[in-house]
Every structure is written in C-alpha cells, then in structure tokens.
Amino acid sequence: MSFLFGSRSSKTFKPKKNIPEGSHQYELLKHAEATLGSGNLRQAVMLPEGEDLNEWIAVNTVDFFNQINMLYGTITEFCTETSCAVMSAGPRYEYHWADGTNIKKPIKCSAPKYIDYLMTWVQDQLDDETLFPSKIGVPFPKNFTTVAKTILKRLFRVYAHIYHQHFDSVMQLQEEAHLNTSFKHFIFFVQEFSLIDRRELAPLQDLIEKLGSKDR
C-alpha cells in the first residue's frame, strides 16, 4: 500500500492513479490499509466478507500500480538506455513489448522504454471506465479477470527487473524494506486468487519461496 512509503519519496514514474474519496472502492482501500497495518499479509489479501471479488481485485490492482510506479520512480536514473539496453530479469529472462493494439508484433526494446510502454498501457486500462468502473452499480465487464491478470503479469515484470538489475541501487537508497514489503503483498495477493501463472513468476521463484516460508 502506498502508505508504506510515507512522504519520503513522492517521485513517481507516471501520475498516481487516485480512487475517488467517498466511493465504495475508496472504503475498500481504507479497509485494506487497516488490515495491512496488522502485519499479517496473508490475512490482509483475503476477500473481505460480503465484498465483490472483481471490486477487490480492481482496488488492489490500482494500488499495486501506484506502488510500483513509486518504486520504479526512485530508480529511474539508474535504469537507462545504456545500463539496461534490453528489458530483462537476470540473464535467462528477456521481455519484448506488444500491447495487441498499437504494437501487435513483440518488439525488443530497452528496459526504460519497455516500462514506459507498460505503465502507460496499464494506466490506459485503469482509466477505462468500461474496464474499471468507479461508479457504484456499474458492472464489471465479463473479461475483467482476464484484463486484471494481464495487468498484474506485466507489473510483476517491473518488480523482476528491479530485483535482478537494480537491487544494489535500491539498497543504496535504503528502499529495500519498502520493495520487499510491497512485493510480498503483491505475491500473496496474486497467489490468493491465482492471478499469475507460476511459469511467469519463475524469474523470482527463489525469492517468492523465501518470502512464503518466512510467513508459515
């Protein structure tokens, strides 16, 4: 949750996506922040009793976007066309960008370019009222879960890139506790609702197992 970062780093990569105050989704976000504060992340990600699953996934997806936005914003000066000429997560995993609309055939590009494409694409999805309705009573589309899964799968790649290529910089900035807590929350959430295929998580599998075992 964004409150984890306090006011130490207000720099974000893209503009923050705000959930309208007074809306039901805003109340859900406040509930999530309160349960997160208890320190039990496994419990914090569970669907609150009586709530709609799609709405819960939507609120958390927006929040993860904001968190990753802030985390990546702190290390953009280290993630350059020169230092990160390809979008990778260690030597075994390389990502090529395609959004199915503007860029249909996957293109090889630098990490900053890829992440710019990715975050802009996610922002467009979150701003689309037909996909992420913010008004009470407006139903979620039938393909909502598919869209949310794609967003979360792609956001995971930013975490993977930061961990593999920029963890030294994160440590220099003393942001590793923020990164670890944010990622642990993200992983517990996607595991709770089976939102990312296990194969997609392979670049950080060791870390995921370590985070999970600490919580048992």
Please report the pLDDT score of residue 92 as a whole number. 94
Torsion sign over Cα 32, 7, 211, 60:
positive
CB of 91 closer than 8 Å to CB of 203: no
Please report the pLDDT score of residue 200 as a whole number. 97
Nearest to residue 75, comparing CAs of 180, 179, 151?
Answer: 179
Half-sphere exposure of 186 (CA within 13 A, CB side): 31
Per-residue model confidence as pLDDT tens for the chain (216 residues): 333 333 334 455 666 677 766 677 777 777 677 666 666 888 889 999 999 999 999 999 999 999 999 999 999 999 999 999 999 999 999 999 999 888 999 999 999 999 999 999 999 999 999 999 988 788 999 999 999 999 999 999 999 999 999 999 999 999 999 999 999 999 999 999 999 999 999 999 999 999 887 665
CB of 112 closer than 8 Å to CB of 69: no
166 is in an annotated binding site: yes
Q: Is 101 exposed, middle or buried (0-12, 13-18, 19+ CB in 10 A)?
A: exposed
CA 116 to CA 152: how far, in whole Å?
16
Give SS3 for 110.
Answer: coil
Please report the pLDDT score of residue 138 as a whole number. 87
CA 181 to CA 207: how far, in whole Å?
12
Please report the pLDDT score of residue 204 as a whole number. 97
Please report the pLDDT score of residue 137 as a whole number. 80
CA 21 to CA 23: how far, in whole Å?
6
